[in-house]
Amino acid sequence: MTAAVLFILLFLCMFMGMPIAIALGFSSVVTIYFLSGDSIASMGLKFIDNLTEHYTLLAIPFFVLSSAFLSTGGVARRLIRFANAGVGHIQGGLAMASVLACMLFAAVSGSSPATVAAIGSIVIAGMVRTGYPESFAAGVISNAGTLGILIPPSIVMLVYAAATEVSAARMFMAGFIPGIMMGLLLMIAIYIYAKVKGLPAQPRATAREFFSSAFSASGGILLIFIILGAIYGGVASPTEAAAVSAFYAFAIAVVGYRDMGPLKGIPWRKDGESIGAAIVRNTGQSLVALPVSFFSKDVQKVVLDGAKVSFVLLFIIANAMLFAHVLTTERIPHIIAEVITGMGLPAWGFLIVMNLLLLAAGNFMEPSAILLIMAPILFPIALQYGIDPIHLGIIMVVNMEIGMITPPVGLNLFVTAGITGRSILWVVKAALPWLGLLLFFLILVTYIPEISLFLPEFLDGLKKG
């Protein structure tokens, strides 16, 4: 009875157009007030505790801020140039370079919409000018952008780790090989399509252009090694690495590339000039007053935008955790687990049911909310079937990827529509042909656990050795 009321209230609120975060919190509070023994005061404390007791969630604002600096600065443009220098000469190479750029940007942003916005705003128009169909360009970027939550570091993986109390570092390790595989699958499909349709190739980059583009993009690429090296090497936790990435992204955007802040667009040094003299000449500030000038209006705007995104995400997470708490308190996951296991389904049958459930949820809800609601339900059932928690997490993340490009709530679709100026229906049609590739990849990840577990188990073996 409690479960029925809880879910009916949730879907009724969503059907009425209530924001998902408010719907989660409202349905939870109403259910607690009328059907549960818990007090409303205890729920208020639980709402705050949801954000303070999960240390892993502290990484989210840092990764969001890092992504904001890199998206606003010229990091995406430099990554695209580097990717194009590497594979642009192949037929369909500009589209393949776009996928490679999405993979690289995903490894520093942790967000799918940010990846689509940063890469798509540059390459979609570039592909159209080069002779690619606009629908093809939009479909490629919408799908390649989903790698933002699969290639580590990933905000969605952090949410799963917080919901199930598994290691976020192991989740990051597990997402590395699937992310590369998904990117390669997209590139292979692009190559076949380019051969069939006769899409153009770019002139082969010279060795000088390749190394010049690599050096230019090294500021962004280095962040990948800083984050993942620190986490996998045991030097820092994901939260600590996220804090370092935010500071590094600020430094590379304001001081290194000078895409914003007081040094924007100004050459760094003249011949024979000291660094201190160059700073004073370029900014008109003394070395003592210079740190304050770095927080110029454009830098403040990036920080404010990052804070807004972080607040929205954390508000959704807090309400979703409150919803999950009600589920756990009322033993709803245990009841559902008993029903499913009582049906006598084999493990592969349970995985089919789980994927169908997650794919359906991905049409209507934001990924973080889905994970926080569904993970407490599916996690104990998966354990009974002997499914590894890390493997389960990667399956759920790939399902969330597909949800990013399925209407009516696919976030990547809305970002692509904003970039192209087209309607959502047009973007859905453009992204639809690529959906089959993602579904095929979901089957591979679901039934070949070694894809997800090889790297974390290999690294664990090295540490023990």
Q: Quick one: three-class SS letters along the chain?
A: CHHHHHHHHHHHHHHCCCCHHHHHHHHHHHHHHHHCCCCHHHHHHHHHHHHHCCHHHHHHHHHHHHHHHHHHCCHHHHHHHHHHHHHCCCCCHHHHHHHHHHHHHHHHHCCHHHHHHHHHHHHHHHHHHHCCCHHHHHHHHHHHHHHHHCCCCCHHHHHHHHHHCCCHHHHHHHHHHHHHHHHHHHHHHHHHHHHHHCCCCCCCCCHHHHHHHHHHHHHHHHHHHHHHHHHHCCCCCHHHHHHHHHHHHHHHHHHHCCCCCCCCCCCCCCCCCCHHHHHHHHHCCCCCCHHHHCCCHHHHHHHHHHHHHHHHHHHHHHHHHHHHHHHHHCCHHHHHHHHHHHCCCCHHHHHHHHHHHHHHHHCCCCHHHHHHHHHHHHHHHHHHCCCCHHHHHHHHHHHHHHHCCCCCCCHHHHHHHHHHCCCHHHHHHHHHHHHHHHHHHHHHHHHCCHHHHHHHHHHHHHHHC
By the 8 A CB rule, do 109 and 66 touch? yes
The reported pTM is 0.84
> What range defines the domain where residue 329 resides?
39-261+296-464
Residue 361 tokens, joined? 């949820």
Q: How far is 382 from 358, CA to CA, in rounded Å?
A: 14
Residue 234 tokens, joined? 């045991």
Residue 200 tokens, joined? 């153009």
Rounded alpha-carbon distances, angstroms, from residue 445 to 352, 368, 451: 12, 20, 6
| Amino acid identity, position 302 | V
Q: Is residue 455 part of a domain?
A: yes
Residue 411 tokens, joined? 């976030």
Q: Is residue 23 part of a domain?
A: no
Length of the chain: 465
In degrees, rounded to 5, the angle at the alpha carbon of residue 218 between the alpha carbons of residues 217 and 224 is: 105
Q: How far is 72 from 30, CA to CA, in rounded Å?
A: 42
Q: How far is 235 from 284, CA to CA, in rounded Å?
A: 39
HSE, CB side, 13 Å, CA atoms: give it for residue 455. Answer: 19
Going by C-beta distance under 8 Å and a sequence separation of 6 or more, which residues neighbour residue 167?
A: 161, 390
Residue 142 tokens, joined? 């919408």
From 161, 67, 174, 77, select the one nearest 123 (Cα to Cα): 77
Q: Is residue 284 part of a domain?
A: no
Q: Is residue 24 part of a domain?
A: no
Q: Is residue 148 part of a domain?
A: yes
Q: Is residue 123 part of a domain?
A: yes
Structural domain count of the chain: 1
By the 8 A CB rule, do 105 and 115 touch? yes
Query: Quick one: 16 exposed, middle or buried, by C-beta within 10 A (0-12, 13-18, 19+)?
Result: exposed
Rounded alpha-carbon distances, angstroms, from residue 84 to 100, 206, 293: 9, 12, 35
| Amino acid identity, position 307 | A
Q: Is residue 29 part of a domain?
A: no
From 102, 101, 93, 209, select the one nearest 147 (Cα to Cα): 102
By the 8 A CB rule, do 119 and 102 touch? yes
Q: Is residue 18 part of a domain?
A: no
**pLDDT one digit per residue (tens) for the chain, 465 residues:** 677 788 888 888 878 888 877 888 888 888 877 776 666 666 666 666 655 666 677 788 888 888 888 877 678 888 888 998 998 889 889 999 999 999 988 888 878 888 888 888 888 988 888 889 999 999 999 999 999 889 988 888 988 998 888 988 899 999 999 999 999 999 999 999 999 988 888 888 899 999 999 988 888 888 888 888 888 777 888 888 888 888 888 888 887 777 776 666 666 555 555 555 666 666 565 555 555 555 667 788 888 888 888 888 888 877 777 787 777 777 777 777 777 777 878 889 999 999 998 998 888 778 888 888 888 888 988 998 899 999 999 999 999 999 889 887 788 888 899 888 888 899 999 998 888 899 999 999 999 999 999 998 888 777 776
- At 292-331, the pLDDT tens digits run 555 667 788 888 888 888 888 888 877 777 787 777 777 7
